[in-house]
Amino acid sequence: MKVTEHIKNANGKTLFSFEIIPPKKGKSIQDLYDNIDPLMEFNPPFIDVTTSREEYIYIEKQGLLDRKITRMRPGTVGICAAIKHKYDVDTVPHVLCGGFSKEETEYLLVDCHYLGINNVMALRGDAMSHQKYFEACDGGHQYASQLVSQIQNLNCGTYLHDVVEVDDTSNFCIGVAGYPEKHIEAPSLHTDLKRLKEKVDAGADYVVTQMFFDNKKYFEFVDAAKKVGIDVPIIPGIKPIAIKKHLQLLPQVFKIDLPQDLITNIEQCQTNKQVRQVGIEWAIQQSKELQAAGVPVLHYYSMGKSDNVKAIAEAVF
């Protein structure tokens, strides 16, 4: 079932969903299952699975360093299929511009269609570690709106190069990212909203926001999006703070602001266990306010661990 159909069928009730990260190469999928199991009691209608782009590694060969491209966390589509089969739940693979050619994207989408995966999250992705700015790979998309257009074209039976007699078109529900505090590269929030509108106009069916810690930012973002003509569901993304270092890391990496009350509470913690509890309590407070406002879904960034998300869900759902 499509994410938008789950939202419609909920009749105004706020749904619970979460995002997971594939295990690194050489790790068992059982660890992933162990962290999904405790969250299934809250009946998530869908689970997101991230995709990691390629990165460079250096291998010593005869005294010289040979640069090779690798993916440390492959298997997104396979994991989606495994979760779908094991838990009978819809899965949402993340599809990136970065590191994928248009042809590779088409093959991935065909695989998803064969597997009965009806939802995808279309993202530009980040720049590689050695790049100052994002650069599309040869034959890849520069912008997420272009990726959305390719997915929508496939939904209409239009392939990249082949003339195909289509008797079974895909029907992907397309999610995209939104940024309540604007994307790091956008010169203004208004400009960023114009880019989001382009993605919706290209065929995006719903939006999931970047993490935020002040609900006012989300409500203002939704109002501003509506004013520019964005009328698809906007799902808030929630991340519970887990370690003290997040005070520096999250603003640095995601260019977001943390409320002073949250900062003060975390600075008073002596251990990361205490920080984790503060993060849980803050996320519960956020979630209850958002739920009372009638948001369609509360979407949690679990980062592969479920204990704090479970504690939040127990208090909210």
Q: 294: number of CA atoms within 13 Å, CB side?
A: 5
What's the rounded Cα separation, in Å, for the pair 5 and 288?
A: 23
Three-state secondary structure of 115-161: CCCCEEEEECCCCCCCCCCCCCCCCCCCCHHHHHHHHHHHHCCCCCC
Tell me whether residue 19 is one of the annotated catalytic residues: yes
Can you read off the two tokens belonging to residue 296? 């369609």
Cβ(299)–Cβ(235) below 8 Å: yes
Instruction: Please say whether the beta carbons of 120 and 151 come within 8 A.
Output: yes
**2 close to 119: Cβ distance less than 8 angstroms:** yes
Q: Of the residues 19, 104, 181, 289, which is catalytic?
A: 19
Q: Which of 23, 24, 45, 44 is nearest to 32 (CA)?
A: 23
Within the chain, residue ranges assigned H as helices are: 3-9, 30-36, 76-87, 102-114, 144-155, 189-202, 215-227, 246-254, 260-267, 272-292, 307-316
For strand 234-238 and strand 64-70, is the pairing parallel, antiparallel, or unpaired?
unpaired
Q: What is the C-alpha separation between 241 and 135, in angstroms, rounded?
A: 31
- Catalytic residue set: 19
